Amino acid sequence: MNTRLPPVIQSTDNPAFKKLMALQTTHGIRKHGEFLVAGPKIIAEALRQKPKAVTAWIATPDMPLPHAELSQGSLVLLSKGLFREVNLFGAPGPLLAMQIPDLPAFQPEAPWPEGCTLFIPFGDPENVGGAIRAAAGLDAARIVLLREAACPFLPKAVRASAGATWKIRLESGPSLAELPAIKSAPLFALDMEGTPLENVKHPVRYGLVAGMEGQGLTEALRRHCRQVSIPMANRIESLNAASAIAIALWAWR
Mean pLDDT of the chain: 90
Average pLDDT of the segment spanning 125-135? 95
Report the range of poorest mean pLDDT among 6-15, 88-97, 224-233. Answer: 224-233
Average pLDDT of the segment spanning 203-232? 83
Domains of the chain by start residue, with CATH? 8-99 (3.30.1330.30), 115-251 (3.40.1280.10)
Helix (H) or strand (E) holding 228: strand 226-229
Please give the pLDDT value at position 233. 77
Helix (H) or strand (E) holding 127: helix 125-137
Q: Is residue 79 very low, low, confident or very high in pLDDT (cuts 50, 70, 90)? A: very high
* pLDDT above 70 as % of the chain: 93
Alpha-carbon distance of 202 to 71, in angstroms, equals 47
Average pLDDT of the segment spanning 141-151? 96
* Residue 26 φ/ψ, nearest 5 degrees: -65, -45
**End-to-end Cα, the chain, rounded Å:** 46
Q: Is residue 1 very low, low, confident or very high in pLDDT (cuts 50, 70, 90)? A: very low
Please give the pLDDT value at position 207. 95
Angle subtended by helix axes 125-137 and 241-251, to nearest 10: 10
Output the CA torsion sign for 45, 2, 14, 7: positive
Q: Yes or no: say if 173 and 162 are a contact pair by the CB < 8 Å rule.
A: no
| Other C-beta atoms lying within 10 Å of the C-beta of residue 225 | 23
Average pLDDT of the segment spanning 137-160? 96
Q: Is residue 70 very low, low, confident or very high in pLDDT (cuts 50, 70, 90)? A: low
> What separation in angstroms does the CA of 153 have from each of 42, 156, 157?
13, 8, 6
Report whether pLDDT(2) > 50. no
Q: Yes or no: say if 192 and 159 are a contact pair by the CB < 8 Å rule.
A: no
DSSP letter (8 states) at residue 147? T
- Residue-wise pLDDT for 155-179, tens only, equals 999 999 999 999 999 999 999 989 9
Alpha-carbon distance of 157 to 153, in angstroms, equals 6
> Model's pTM, two decimal places?
0.90
| Other C-beta atoms lying within 10 Å of the C-beta of residue 171 | 15
